Structures are given as structure tokens and as C-alpha cells.
Amino acid sequence: MQEITERISRLFQAYGLGEIRGEIRPVSGGLMHRMFQVRGTGGVYAVKWLNPEIMKRPGVFDNFRRAEELEDALEEQGIPIVSAIRFGTKKMLKHEDRYYYIFRWQEGRITDYNQISSEQCRKAGEILGRIHGTDPREAAIEEPEISRIDFESYIRKAEEESPLIAELLKENLPVLSKAEKRLNEARRSLPPFSAIDDPDMDPKNVMWHQGEPYVIDLECLRRGNPVSSCLDLALQWAGTTNGAYRGENLESFLRGYFSSYDNGFRAYEELFGIAYSWLDWLEYNIRRALGVEGSLPEEIRLGEEEVKNTIGRIRYLSEKEREVCEVLACCGTFTV
């Protein structure tokens, strides 16, 4: 922690934020980057210390730059987001050999996944609709991104380096293969829409203060398919992430969404396979657990934990498909 304190102190001095007051406090919740609460002479800030391994990826700086531009567009629309502070022309700061974002501290808390209310789902759906409605467009029909995870290859590698991962993959290979097939079928069937999208707007990335939501962690902003994103996030808010699905929460999220953005599409039950987009996160964490995406022990342990969690979510989604589709089939009857 001493190194972190010294680095952030020098960062604050370099960008005119004054002296640090008190201890720098780690903030939990992030699975990719590290976040700290920092009290300075100019106020209270959140400092996001970007994962060095992520910053080595090809195209990563273009992705962050694009996200910053879209963040500005959402802020202009008055959408309740917590945007990074701009220093001159820059939001992303490079200091010494690390990259950071700095935010004004947002009071509030992340809701307990087990205590998400229908009203919170409605408000979250409304915000996602406002994001999608900021600059919607018809998109050219293109070949979709197809998932081709070589599970057999990962199993062979894991048998040598991580027997736990190997066993998890072998035991669940049938359900994972089926999920990948359903995901690819759904992606091929998506209608050609495009919108500003925040695919990471799940419950852990929305702060609540006095009953009102504020979206955080916006570095994943991009243009994407709003139908895919709406379905994926509606299911997460409805409790499929933590194995506590509630149909009323799914309905509330969708009603809130349609109240602020309606492109006319309603056949969501035909695209249930989009729910298996968790496979992308699964593959990343398999690679992390096997030391391919960074070799730090804590990264490997986190990868192992997330492989287990993500396989559990995929299995749960498979078990809940019928119940979920019953609600999705009613979308056409919703009045907004």
C-alpha cells in the first residue's frame, strides 16, 4: 500500500490536485482495474488505476478514446453518469509508468444483488433506454462476431497447469457447447440496429444515492446492438447473475427501457441465446487462470474464481430459460 500511496501522491501533485489528506482507501467492486478513494485538499476523488495487462492489448487506447467521446455525448444529454475529470484535453492520465482516470467522488452505494427492487430495475432500464436513444441508427447487415472457444485446447493446457480448471471445463463441456451454439444462433438473428451502448451497465456499475441511480465505470462505452445489450442487461438486473431470478424485475426493467427508447422490436424470446454472452467473460478468465492474461498470483486466483462463478451462471441460465422466455414473450403487450 505504501507504493500506491506514493504513486497517487505524485499523481495528484503533477495534475494540481494538491496534497493527500488521510489514508488512501481501496474501493471494492472492480474485477478488471483497481479503485481508490482519495481525500485531497481540493475534495474527495475516486482514482481508477488501470490494469497494466489490459493496457498492453492491441487497440486499447483507441477503445478508451472512443469511450471518452461517447461519455461526453451522454453527459451532454443529462444522463446521470459519473464521468472522468478532464485535464486540459485529456481524461486518461499517464504518470510515470501507469495509467489512471480520476473522478469526483460520488456519494451512494451499490445495491445488494439479492435486494434489487422492481423500482430500481425500472429506473436502470430507463437509463439504458436513454443511452440507446441518444444516437440510434439503422446498421448495415454484417456478419456477426461468432464465438469459437476451443474448450478442448484449454482443457489440455489446464490439465498441466490447473487441474481445478480442467475438471470444471470437462464436467460442464456439454452445457458450454450448447450455450455457444445458442449464442451464435442468436447473434446471427439480431436485427440491424446500432446505438451508443454501455454493455457493462450491470448492478455493480450503478451507484444509488437518495433513491436515484448514477452510472459508473464507463470505459466500455461503444456503439453496439441495443437489442442484444437490452436483453443481456435486463437478465442481469433480473437476478440471473446471482442465481436469484425474479420475473417481475425482468418485466420492470423492460418497461422502463421501452418508456425511454422504443425501436419497435419485441421478439426478445427468440434471442434468448444472447444470455450466453457470458462465454466471452468465461474465456477471458480461463486465460487469466492459466496465466495467459497476466501472471500475478492474485490475477490467477481471481481468474479461477470467475471461471467457477461464470460456469455457474451459464448453467443457471440454461435451467431458467423457459421462465425467462415466458416474460419476454409478453413484451409485445407492454404499454408504456
Question: Which of the pair, 335 or 96, is modelled with greater confidence?
Answer: 96
State CA 40 to chain mean position distance: 29
- CA distances 259 to 124, 252, 262, Å, are 12, 11, 7
Handedness of CA 197, 202, 207, 210 (dihedral sign): positive
Distance between CA atoms of residues 139 and 99, nearest Å: 34
Burial of 234: CB neighbours in 10 Å, binned 0-12, 13-18, 19+: buried
Q: What angle do CA 83, 62, 290 make, to 5 degrees?
A: 95
pLDDT band at 31 (very low <50, low <70, confident <90, very high): low
Give the pLDDT confidence of 152-193 residue by residue, as tens digits: 999 999 999 999 999 999 999 999 999 999 999 999 999 999
What percentage of the chain has pLDDT greater than the value 70?
98
Q: 5-28 burial by CB neighbour count: b if 16+ within 10 A, else e? A: eebbbebbeebebeebeeebeeee
Residue spans per domain, the chain: 2-105, 113-333
Mean pLDDT within 93-115: 93
Does the 2-105 domain belong in CATH 1.20.120.1200? no
Residue 268 CA, distance from chain mean position:
21
> 212-215 and 206-209 as β-strands: parallel, antiparallel, unpaired?
antiparallel
pLDDT bin (cut points 50, 70, 90) of residue 29 is low
| pLDDT tens sequence across 248-288 | 999 999 999 999 999 999 999 999 999 999 999 999 999 99
What per-residue confidence (pLDDT) applies to 294?
74
Domain 113-333 has CATH 3.60.110.10: no
- pLDDT at residue 146 in the model: 93
Question: Scanning the structure block, which residue is given the C-alpha cell 444472447?
Answer: 274
Closest CA to 237 of 201, 183, 282, 199: 201
What pTM, to 2 d.p., does this model score?
A: 0.89
Nine cell digits for residue 251: 418485466
